[in-house]
């Protein structure tokens, strides 16, 4: 008789699949575990939001937890999960030592989403008007925290092949601690794809992205100040619609209908917005991971123009579903070509479908992923013995973070 696996996911926030790629990623992971018959509990110290997914409808138990509170110890002991998945390294820092102490035999997984230290180091280099170097990572404070978290966990899930190479080459992380698991998509229904709006029935350029994410805000500024004026000069009737969750006042103030630059706010249905647009623009100048907005464009049959960083690790050796350009003049030129040339547009759309089918189908990864974590479970003791640096960091975390957290808890209790 098989023992039912209990999976505890500890989330930085409650998943919002319609607000960000990270939210969609988490729902994908939940579906993988649920499909295997695993019992899934999702816990988070975050406040509920109006846009969070209904976890119960996914068959998931929802649990609110507190930071720096021993109530978590009682909860996790009673649940006694066989697998614990930390959503981003900040959550592992807070709760990893408690899981290790109370459920030492649980497999500890880290979902990195993207490599935060890479995104922050690139952002810093951009703001200092210099080229990014991988040496920047070695002096980035967030890297010390993030790499320590990766070492403390048994397996870290990576969505970018480039980031796996960085971790192995720059930080000398053992390949056994890393596992490539990109965003997971259902197959494209080609009978449905035939019903997508045609080239003629689409209009406008579109940008879409969560504005809490700094690369997205920077990309919108870049569009407004540099790229869009180049396009409007050649196409005076062109319209660009900017969609995104959590727009700040500084975003809203960029709204200029007379210039064809429209700040639309949160999209009620992001896929509908992208399906009806002719071209997606994503001039990202820093960032990391793979871009959910660009995968969504491919699903919707909408070609895109992006930068090298935007397309990083996304298409492998396959042609992009549009163009990749880092120079603003070239970016604007390619955007206009794609918007006006039906044959070019249709070829780009076909490229997008091929990228999804060859690189992102859930069926390509789901079974291998589950088989891998079950295999690590069966040899967990040896797996951890092979990771001495992780054991060393776990030891020091238990004797430092633990007592800091206990001190905060006592301080909070007293008042």
369 shares a domain with 355: no
207 shares a domain with 195: yes
229 shares a domain with 80: no
pTM flag (> 0.75): yes
91 shares a domain with 44: yes
**Residue pLDDT, tens place only, 346-356:** 999 999 999 99
30 shares a domain with 133: yes
Q: What is the pLDDT of residue 195?
A: 81
- Continuous segment of H or E residues that includes residue 263: strand 261-265
Q: Which of 16-25, 38-47, 281-290 has the lowest average pLDDT?
A: 16-25
Q: Is residue 1 part of a domain?
A: no
Q: Is residue 380 part of a domain?
A: yes
The CATH number linked to 273 is 3.40.50.2000
Q: What is the pLDDT of residue 192?
A: 61
Pairing of strands 107-111, 83-87: parallel
What band does 21 get if pLDDT is binned at 50, 70 and 90? Answer: confident
Q: Is residue 263 part of a domain?
A: yes
**Orientation angle between helical segments 141-152 and 388-398, nearest 10 degrees:** 110
Task: Report the pLDDT averaged over residues 103-119.
Answer: 96
The Cα–Cα gap between 342 and 109 comes to: 46
263 shares a domain with 176: no
Q: Is residue 217 part of a domain?
A: yes
Q: Compute the C-alpha angle 137/324/24, nearest 5°.
A: 70
Pick from 359, 376, 403: which residue ends a domain?
359
Percentage of residues in the chain having pLDDT higher than 90: 84
The Cα–Cα gap between 154 and 289 comes to: 21
Q: Is residue 293 part of a domain?
A: yes
Pick from 313, 335, 359: which residue ends a domain?
359
290 shares a domain with 315: yes
406 shares a domain with 337: no
- Continuous segment of H or E residues that includes residue 122: helix 116-127
Cα torsion angle, 312, 316, 317, 322, sign: negative
- Residue 345's domain comprises 190-359
Give the count of domains, the chain: 2
Query: How far is CA 378 from its chain centroid?
Result: 29
The Cα–Cα gap between 327 and 204 comes to: 22
Pick from 341, 359, 377: which residue ends a domain?
359
Pairing of strands 261-265, 240-243: parallel
In terms of Cα–Cα distance, which of 307, 338, 309, 321 is closest to 231? 338
**Residue pLDDT, tens place only, 75-100:** 999 999 999 999 999 999 999 999 99
**CA distance to 257, 309, 349, per residue, from 231 (Å):** 15, 22, 21
128 shares a domain with 55: yes
Q: Is residue 226 part of a domain?
A: yes
The Cα–Cα gap between 391 and 386 comes to: 9
Q: What is the pLDDT of residue 1?
A: 40
Q: Is residue 336 part of a domain?
A: yes
240 shares a domain with 104: no
Which residue has tokens 């960000």?
A: 20
338 shares a domain with 204: yes
Q: Is residue 297 part of a domain?
A: yes
172 shares a domain with 321: no
Task: Report the pLDDT averaged over residues 9-32.
Answer: 92
The Cα–Cα gap between 366 and 370 comes to: 6
């Amino acid at each position: 008789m098989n023992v039912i696996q209990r999976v505890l996911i500890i989330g930085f926030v409650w998943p919002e699949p319609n607000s960000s790629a990270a939210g969609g990623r988490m729902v994908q992971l939940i579906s993988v575990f649920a499909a295997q018959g695993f019992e899934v509990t999702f816990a988070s110290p975050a406040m509920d939001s109006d846009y969070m997914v209904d976890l119960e409808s996914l068959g998931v138990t929802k649990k609110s937890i507190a930071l720096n509170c021993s109530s978590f110890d009682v909860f996790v002991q009673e649940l006694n999960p066989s697998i614990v998945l930390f959503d981003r390294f900040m959550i592992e820092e807070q709760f990893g030592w408690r899981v290790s102490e109370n459920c030492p035999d649980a497999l500890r997984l880290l979902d990195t989403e993207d490599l935060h230290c890479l995104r922050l180091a690139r952002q810093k280099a951009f703001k200092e008007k210099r080229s990014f170097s991988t040496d920047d990572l070695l002096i980035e404070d967030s890297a010390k925290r993030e790499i320590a978290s990766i070492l403390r966990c048994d397996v870290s899930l990576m969505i970018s092949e480039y980031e796996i190479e960085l971790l192995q080459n720059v930080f000398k992380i053992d390949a056994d601690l890393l596992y490539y698991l990109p965003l997971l998509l259902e197959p494209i229904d080609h009978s449905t794809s035939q019903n997508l709006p045609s080239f003629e029935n689409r209009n406008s350029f579109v940008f879409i992205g969560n504005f809490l994410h700094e690369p997205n805000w920077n990309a919108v500024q870049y569009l407004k100040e540099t790229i869009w004026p180049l396009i409007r000069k050649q196409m005076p009737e062109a319209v660009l619609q900017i969609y995104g969750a959590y727009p700040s006042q500084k975003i809203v103030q960029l709204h200029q209908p007379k210039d064809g630059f429209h700040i639309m706010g949160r999209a009620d249905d992001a896929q509908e917005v992208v399906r009806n647009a002719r071209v997606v623009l994503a001039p990202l100048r820093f960032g990391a991971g793979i871009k959910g907005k660009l995968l969504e464009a491919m699903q919707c049959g909408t070609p895109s123009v992006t930068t090298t960083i935007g397309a990083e690790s996304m298409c492998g050796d396959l042609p992009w579903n549009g163009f990749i350009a880092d120079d603003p003049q070239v970016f604007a030129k390619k955007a206009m070509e794609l918007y006006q040339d039906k044959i070019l547009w249709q070829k780009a759309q076909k490229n997008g479908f091929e990228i999804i089918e060859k690189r992102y189908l859930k069926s390509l990864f789901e079974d291998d992923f589950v088989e891998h974590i079950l295999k690590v479970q069966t040899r967990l003791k040896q797996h951890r013995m092979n990771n001495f640096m992780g054991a060393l960091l776990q030891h020091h975390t238990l004797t430092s973070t633990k007592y800091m957290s206990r001190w905060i808890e006592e301080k909070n209790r007293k008042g």
